[in-house]
């Protein structure tokens, strides 16, 4: 089997330099028409196929967009990624995922990817950068967009999670609940600022209603359905258990429903449960939830990034897109027993 032709073979056949062949491949106007035609004829005769990676590098572009996010197997992240992928489907960019498990790994990725030789653009999902890294990214030459994260120096797509936590809690208060628990991830995590913001909204709604916060009604652990199930069992075993649980994600709310089913507590007759996110499983189990446009946030984040890449400049002021939240009431919330 004959060896594939190289750019040097083309240059030799056309009696030009390798640099001239490269300029023809990149449609440079700095090549005489006769020379250009000779190179094109040599390419056709030799059936030369340019190396796409080498060509990208010669253009000073990688044609790659990196997405950095934690726990990308969770349903909410999968939905955001679906949105990103759909928006990029008809574009020339390859999508590369970086999953973050520790703050050290996050910082390593931020440092490595803040270089035009690595990627053309960067999407950070649920990973708020520090001031130091935001400054570095802003001046790196790599357009960067945040999704579900905030920094004033970078463009971002967000929802008002404080308001979301407030509205979810208000829904339970308006039903007549006064013993409302909040179940969440660790609030001090360097990832997902949204958990703390939902907690702030929860506390604000209780305070506004004149209800004292009860520390035993706030439980937290790593994110997951089994972890939520065990936390809910602890809440429901309290001497004075809550009549309603606001879970900071739908995945955790479904874990609460698992615990109630296992213990024999009826939902919503004996316990109301509300989640957050609006993932597909929430609809399947008839879960009341604070719905956020996960898919749309991925689409919009990718769209902002593509616009920045097309402008080929980060000189424009950072943009902020705040997407709406919607309370979807289903079959897991009702007035407390005795109302």
pLDDT computed for residue 52 by the predictor? 54
Instruction: Provide the CA 30 distance to its chain's centre, in angstroms.
Output: 44
Instruction: Name which residue leads in pLDDT, 193 or 179.
Output: 179
Lowest mean pLDDT among 7-16, 57-66, 260-269: 57-66
Q: Note if the bond before 268 is cis, omega within 30 degrees.
A: yes
Lowest mean pLDDT among 23-37, 148-162, 168-182: 23-37
Instruction: Name which residue leads in pLDDT, 85 or 114.
Output: 85
Q: Is the pLDDT of residue 179 over 60?
A: yes
Report the chain's mean pLDDT, rounded to a whole number. 88
Q: Is the pLDDT of residue 89 over 60?
A: yes
HSE on the CB side for 239, CA within 13 Å? 0
Find out whether 197 and 165 touch, Cβ atoms under 8 Å. Answer: yes
- What order do you get walking across the sheet with 288-291 strand by strand? 218-220, 180-184, 244-247, 272-277, 288-291, 326-328
pTM attached to this predicted model: 0.80
Where helices occur in the chain by DSSP H, the ranges are 7-14, 18-25, 33-46, 52-58, 75-88, 103-113, 131-138, 161-175, 193-208, 225-236, 250-263, 280-284, 294-311
Closest alpha carbon to 222 in 201, 254, 252: 252
Q: How far apart are CA 22 and CA 320, in angstroms?
A: 41
If you count DSSP H runs as helices and E runs as strands, how many of each does the chain have, helices first?
Answer: 13, 12
Q: Is the pLDDT of residue 79 over 70?
A: yes
Rounded mean pLDDT of 126-153? 89
Q: Is the pLDDT of residue 248 over 90?
A: yes
Lowest mean pLDDT among 134-143, 175-184, 285-294: 134-143
Q: Is the pLDDT of residue 129 over 50?
A: yes
Lowest mean pLDDT among 6-15, 240-249, 322-331: 6-15
Q: How far apart are CA 224 and CA 75, in angstroms?
A: 11
What is the per-residue burial (b if ≥16 Cβ within 10 Å, else e) of 281-307? Answer: ebeebebbbbbbbbbbbbbbbbbbbbe
Which band of pLDDT confidence, cut at 50, 70 and 90, is reported for residue 138? confident
pLDDT computed for residue 1 by the predictor? 44
Q: Which two tokens stand for residue 73?
A: 């197997």
Query: Taking the CA atoms of the chain, what radius of gyration do you get in angstroms?
Result: 27
State percent of the chain over pLDDT 90.
Answer: 53
Burial class (CB in 10 A: 0-12, 13-18, 19+), 114: buried
Find out whether 216 and 238 touch, Cβ atoms under 8 Å. Answer: yes
| Domains of the chain: residue spans and CATH | 7-58 (1.10.260.40), 64-159+294-323 (3.40.50.2300), 161-293 (3.40.50.2300)
Which band of pLDDT confidence, cut at 50, 70 and 90, is reported for residue 60? low
Rounded mean pLDDT of 296-308? 94
Q: How far apart are CA 179 and CA 191, in angstroms?
A: 29
Over residues 207-245, the pLDDT tens digits come to 999 999 999 999 999 889 999 999 999 999 999 999 999
Q: Position of tokens 């990817």?
A: 113
Lowest mean pLDDT among 48-57, 144-153, 280-289, 323-332: 48-57
């Amino acid at each position: 089997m004959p060896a594939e032709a190289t750019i040097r073979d083309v240059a030799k056949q056309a009696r030009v330099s390798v640099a001239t062949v490269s300029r023809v491949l990149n449609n440079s106007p700095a090549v005489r028409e006769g020379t250009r035609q000779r190179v094109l004829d040599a390419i056709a005769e030799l059936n030369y196929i340019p190396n796409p990676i080498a060509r990208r590098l010669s253009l000073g572009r990688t044609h790659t967009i990196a997405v950095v996010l934690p726990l990308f197997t969770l349903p909410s992240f999968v939905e955001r990624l679906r949105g990103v992928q759909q928006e990029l489907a008809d574009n020339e960019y390859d999508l590369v995922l970086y999953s973050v498990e520790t703050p050290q790994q996050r910082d390593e990725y931020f440092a490595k990817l803040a270089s035009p030789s690595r990627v053309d653009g960067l999407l950070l999902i649920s990973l708020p950068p520090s001031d130091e890294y935001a400054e570095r990214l802003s001046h790196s030459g790599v357009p960067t967009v945040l999704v579900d994260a905030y920094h004033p120096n970078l463009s971002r797509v967000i929802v008002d999670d404080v308001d979301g936590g407030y509205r979810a809690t208000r829904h339970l208060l308006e039903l007549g609940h006064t013993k409302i628990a909040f179940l969440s991830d660790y609030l001090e995590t360097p990832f997902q600022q949204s958990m703390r913001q939902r907690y702030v909204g929860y506390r604000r709604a209780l305070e506004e209603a004149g209800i004292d916060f009860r520390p035993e009604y706030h439980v937290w652990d790593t994110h997951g359905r089994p972890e939520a199930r065990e936390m809910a069992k602890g809440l429901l075993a309290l001497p004075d258990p809550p009549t309603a649980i606001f879970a900071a994600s739908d995945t955790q709310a479904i874990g609460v429903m698992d615990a109630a089913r296992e213990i024999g507590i009826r939902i919503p007759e004996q316990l109301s449960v509300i989640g957050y996110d609006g993932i597909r499983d929430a609809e399947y189990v008839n879960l009341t939830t604070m719905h956020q446009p996960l898919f749309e946030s991925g689409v919009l984040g990718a769209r902002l990034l593509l616009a920045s890449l097309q402008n080929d400049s980060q000189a424009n002021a950072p943009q902020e897109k705040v997407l709406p939240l919607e309370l979807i009431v289903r079959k897991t919330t009702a007035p407390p027993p005795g109302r």
